Amino acid sequence: MENSFNDALSNNAASSAPANGATNAQNAKLDAIRDILFGQNIKQYDETFKQLENLITEGHDQIRQQIDQAATQLLQNLQQAESGLRGRIDAVEQTTLQELDRQDQTHVNKQQLVAMLNAFGTEFGK
């Protein structure tokens, strides 16, 4: 609030001042009025608030950058995990299909076995 008041005083003084020499004189008068109204430490407070604002802005920017980096890293990790899982699933599927083929090849159909045993028994019984 004090900053906006100071800005308004500075803007008002700057727009009403006719020349640089007059502007410097106006600024000096404004500084004197600020010192009277707010005390001599107002400049120090303004500077401190500006520094704090800059620190907050820098901190916000750093946090945003870290969040972006973390999101990118997370996405890469998820893609790698997905790729790895797909590979494992494909390998398990191949192994399962191979095992099913092997079992199909070694599996004896019960009906065929009964028919063969009957034929053998018939031949043997003759």
Residues 2-20: b if buried by 16+ CB within 10 A, e if exposed: eeeebeebeeebeeeeeee
126 vs 46: which has the higher pLDDT: 46
* Cβ 42 vs Cβ 34: under 8 Å: yes
Q: Could you give the CA distance from residue 46 to residue 4 in angstroms, rounded to a whole number?
A: 11
- Answer whether residue 125 shows pLDDT above 80: no
89 pLDDT tier (thresholds 50, 70, 90):
very high
Q: In this predicted structure, what is the pLDDT of residue 6?
A: 52
Q: How far is CA 26 from the centre of its chain?
A: 50
Q: In this predicted structure, what is the pLDDT of residue 2?
A: 47
1 pLDDT tier (thresholds 50, 70, 90):
very low
User: pLDDT (tens digit, 9 = 90+) per residue, 98-108?
Assistant: 999 988 888 77
User: pLDDT (tens digit, 9 = 90+) per residue, 47-77?
Assistant: 899 999 999 999 999 999 999 999 999 999 9
Q: Read off the amino acid at residue 8.
A: A
Q: Could you give the CA distance from residue 24 to residue 20 in angstroms, rounded to a whole number?
A: 6
Q: Could you give the CA distance from residue 68 to residue 70 in angstroms, rounded to a whole number?
A: 5
User: pLDDT (tens digit, 9 = 90+) per residue, 15-51?
Assistant: 444 456 788 889 888 888 877 877 777 778 888 999 9
Long-range interactions of 111-115: CB distance < 8 A, separation 24+: none
Contacts of 113 (CB under 8 A, 6+ apart): none
Mean pLDDT of the chain: 83
Q: In this predicted structure, what is the pLDDT of residue 8?
A: 52
